[in-house]
Amino acid sequence: MLFFKEMPKLKLAKMGVKVRKFIVTTLALIVSLTLPALSTASEAKSAFQSLSECERKFVQDFLKVEGYYKSSVDGVWGSGTEKAIVKYAHGRSVTNIIKSLGKCLPAGANLSNAYFLMPEVSDNLRGGFYIYANKDFTTAYPDCLSEILESDKEYDSWNHLLNTFEACMAGKGQVRVDHKLYNKILDEIGELRSQTIKMTQ
């Protein structure tokens, strides 16, 4: 009789051990998944905050253009910036991503309105811009060229012409950036963008 009375207790004891093992295993799994994410977020925050305000805004601006960041471009670290950087990194080093994006455009310029302008050897104006962001350039550029060509104003130098063109573009919300600086930035973010597209396809 004693044997049969002790059986329920034995079963409960065995069930208790199984439950404890399940809980421990589950907690271990949660920790193993959470710690790397927390570490990545901490690394991203540290790298982001090491940049200047101008550079931090550029990082947010780029991520916004690429569709990863939805908040305002203010250069301030927050959950939106964290999620955008971690998601964009796609397993890559967040520090390297942030350093690659740590650019600085002149005041008033961002990826949605910046462009460069320079005369070619053939005396034609050549412009460049970030095609994924500056949607207004393709209309502002020919409009300003037409205004200059149709004007009776005489230009005594290329600088005079360029300054007039720049003023016209500024009136349409466009900000001219040094072509060497902007060409370098466009090349670097273009390469990073290509790598990201390959990884996410």
- Condensed to tens digits (0 to 9), the pLDDT of residues 47-59 reads 999 999 999 999 9
For residue 41, the model assigns a pLDDT of 85
- Please tell me the distance from the alpha carbon of residue 100 to that of residue 185, in angstroms, as a whole number: 10
Question: Which of 101, 130, 147 delimits the end of a domain?
Answer: 101
- Please tell me the distance from the alpha carbon of residue 153 to that of residue 104, in angstroms, as a whole number: 36
pLDDT (mean) for 163-184: 94
Residues near 193 by beta carbon (within 8 Å), at least 6 away in sequence? 66, 132
Task: Quote the domain boundaries for residue 136.
Answer: 114-200
27: which 2 tokens?
A: 């907690």
Q: How many domains does the chain have?
A: 2
- Kindly tell me if the per-residue pLDDT of 175 is higher than 90: yes
- Please tell me the distance from the alpha carbon of residue 27 to that of residue 19, in angstroms, as a whole number: 12
Q: Is residue 87 domain-shared with residue 41, that is, in the same domain? A: yes
58: which 2 tokens?
A: 């550029």
